[in-house]
Amino acid sequence: MTNSRISGFYKLSLDERLDALQKATDVDDETLGTLLTSGLLTTQQADKMVENVVATHNLPLGIGLNFKINGVDRLIPMVIEEPSVVAGASFMAKLARAGGGFFATTSAPEMIGQIQVLDVANIHSAKLAIYEKREELLAIADNIDPILKKLGGGARDIEVRVIENSPIGEFLVLHLIYDVRDAMGANAVNTACEKLAPHLEKITGGRVHLKILSNLSDKRMARTRCVIPVDALKFDDYVGELVRDGIIEAYAFAAADPYRAATHNKGIMNGVDAVVIATGNDWRAIEAGAHAYAAKDGKYTSLSTWGKNDEGNLVGTLEMPMAVGIVGGATKVHPTAQAALRLMQVKTASELAEIIVSIGLAQNLAALRALATEGIQRGHMSLHARQVAIAAGAGDEMVELVAAQMVSEGMVRIDRAEEILKEK
Ligand code: MEV
């Protein structure tokens, strides 16, 4: 059992945080040790992951606190270079807790593979000819991965689409719907598509061109919602109703305007990507899927919604494709990714997707709350000031001093940090 509420975590030293994590979870010491030891991916391991390796590259890993998702506390590892994200998500998770936490679901882990069929004599007849062979095609695709099949995955369906008005005119596209269970699934789906290609040529008399997974994985959705009691929103001179309505107005901006929606969704992705990266998943795939989904109705819009319920409490929702896995690829090879999964105690890719979508919603709320009240810079400033102090050459003992002075002066700049350092 995990307790995700660790008060004062941010004030502890690195060693004290390890102790606090140990007390908050029954996860083994090796996992915690791995998380707190940076640079554990060796160059030898990295050399097996990509080409031309000469080094590895580290990023900060912080713990998202206070999360309760579907009634279960989760400590969430977040890998990110940007200040305020971990703190913002944790704080909003605390507010959401007061409303029961996050309530998340996922659809079946079904990915879409695309096969482009060109040079077909009669496109509509070819389309129906493919449907006539549906069972046969599914059986062929189903057999490419016996392990996946044993685990309950496999080919589920086909859909045939006519693409009109492309620069080369009309052509056919077959969508292969494939249940990939706990994998991200790209390899299984791409292999299945390649396997089907010659059969499609035979059925249609056409020429198969591309055979590749779609990152608009809108059959593999993650959804979450939260209720924030209006009283939990009040702070300083801001009454809860004002904060709530400000958040709803901020959401309306993103819902109606693509320029704002891009930034709004970027805030969601701050939380999402941090966990996707921590678990060794493909964040470009998640980004591509998210933004394509945000534009699926022809106009790019907000991935989340914010409104109020009958009691006047703030209600948030987020729905997005979530093609993440917990087996295979970097997830398997990278020791920190393995430790991250163990810390969250996830047993399935769906559970991971539910955590990720919830952290996205929390992060979105953190940004909107700040923007709708005191502005984003205030919260950013103290951490930013620390980074500026380090960049100006402040050693461990001077960072806090220099940063605090710059914040109190309202001037966070590298030249000022250098001056302060000289004065001290
Ligand atoms: C910054 O990384 C993210 C925000 O711009 C998101 C938003 O504007 O909603 C603060």
282 catalytic? Reply is: yes
- 3-class SS letters over 215-270: CCCCCCEEEEEEEECHHHHCECCECHHHHHHHHHHHHHHHHHCHHHHHHHHHHHHH
Neighbours of 421 (CB within 10 A): 16
SS3 breakdown of the chain: % helix, strand, coil, rounded to 5?
Answer: 50, 20, 30
Among 78, 264, 303, 365, which is best to mutate for testing ligand 1, by the most ligand atoms less than 8 A from CB? 264
Atom of ligand 1 nearest to the CA of 264: 9
- With the most atoms of ligand 1 within 8 angstroms of its CB, the residue from 80, 247, 263, 301 to mutate is 263
**Do strands 207-213 and 169-179 pair parallel, antiparallel, or not at all (unpaired)?**
unpaired
CA of 367 to the centre of ligand 1 (A): 6
Catalytic residue among 133, 175, 195, 266: 266
Atom 10 in ligand 1: residue holding the nearest Cα:
367
Q: How many Å lie between the centroid of ligand 1 and the Cα of residue 150?
A: 43
Q: Are the C-beta atoms of residues 213 and 189 closer than 8 Å to each other?
A: yes
Look up residue 26 and give its two tokens: 């029954």
Closest residue by Cα to atom 1, ligand 1, is 267
Closest residue CA from atom 7 of ligand 1: 264
Q: How far away, in angstroms, is 389 Cα from ligand 1 center?
A: 23
Is 264 an active-site residue? no
Report how far residue 14's alpha carbon sits from residue 10's, in angstroms, rounded to the nearest whole number.
Answer: 9
265 C-alpha to center of ligand 1: Å?
A: 8
The closest alpha carbon to 66, from 231, 232, 267, belongs to 232
pLDDT in tens, the chain (424 residues): 899 999 899 889 888 998 899 899 988 888 887 777 655 788 888 898 899 999 988 899 999 999 999 999 999 999 999 989 999 999 999 999 999 999 999 999 999 999 999 999 999 999 999 999 999 999 999 999 899 999 999 999 999 999 999 999 999 999 999 999 999 999 999 999 999 999 999 999 999 999 999 999 999 999 999 999 999 999 999 999 999 999 999 999 999 999 999 999 999 999 999 999 999 999 999 999 999 999 999 999 999 999 999 999 999 999 999 999 999 878 888 888 999 999 999 999 999 999 999 999 999 999 999 999 988 777 777 778 888 998 999 988 888 899 989 988 888 899 999 999 999 7
Q: Are 145 and 182 in contact (CB under 8 A)?
A: no
- Predicted confidence at residue 134, as pLDDT, reads 98
Mutate to test the pocket of ligand 1, among 81, 86, 273, 371 (most ligand atoms within 8 A of CB): 371
| Separation CA 170–CA 188 (nearest Å) | 28
Nearest CA-CA partner of 313 in 382, 255, 230, 418: 230
Neighbours of 1 (CB within 10 A): 8
The secondary element (H helix, E strand) that includes residue 15 is: helix 14-24
Atom 4 of ligand 1, residue of closest alpha carbon: 267
CA dist 128 and 7 (Å) reads 61
Catalytic status, residue 201: no
Closest listed residue to residue 287, CA positions, set 279, 299, 297, 277: 277
380 is catalytic: yes
Find the catalytic residue in 82, 241, 257, 374. Answer: 82
d(CA 317, CA 309): 12
Domains and CATH numbers, the chain: 9-104+220-374 (3.90.770.10), 110-213 (3.30.70.420), 379-423 (1.10.8)
Is the overall model pTM greater than 0.75, yes or no?
Answer: yes
Burial degree of 36 (CB within 10 A; 0-12, 13-18, 19+): middle
In whole angstroms, what is the distance from residue 142 CA to residue 228 CA?
44
Q: How far is the CA of 297 from the centre of ligand 1 (A)?
A: 23
- What separation in Å is there between the alpha carbon of 92 and the centre of ligand 1? 15
Give the position, in ligand 1's atom list, of the atom nearest the Cα of 376: 10
pLDDT of residue 4: 95
Q: Which residues contact 171 (CB under 8 A, 6 or more apart)?
A: 116, 117, 118, 120, 123, 162, 163
Contact criterion met (CB below 8 Å) for 145 and 216: no
User: Which atom of ligand 1 lies nearest, measured to the CA of 270?
Assistant: 2
User: Any residues with Cβ below 6 Å from ligand 1, and which?
Assistant: 82, 263-264, 266-267, 270, 367, 371, 376
The minimum-distance atom of ligand 1 relative to the CA of 254 is 9
Q: Are strands 72-79 and 61-69 parallel, antiparallel or unpaired?
A: antiparallel
How much is the pLDDT for 38? 59
What pLDDT, on the 0 to 100 scale, is given for residue 330? 82
Beta strands in 152-220 (DSSP E): 154-166, 169-179, 207-213
Q: Which atom of ligand 1 is nearest to the CA of 368?
A: 9
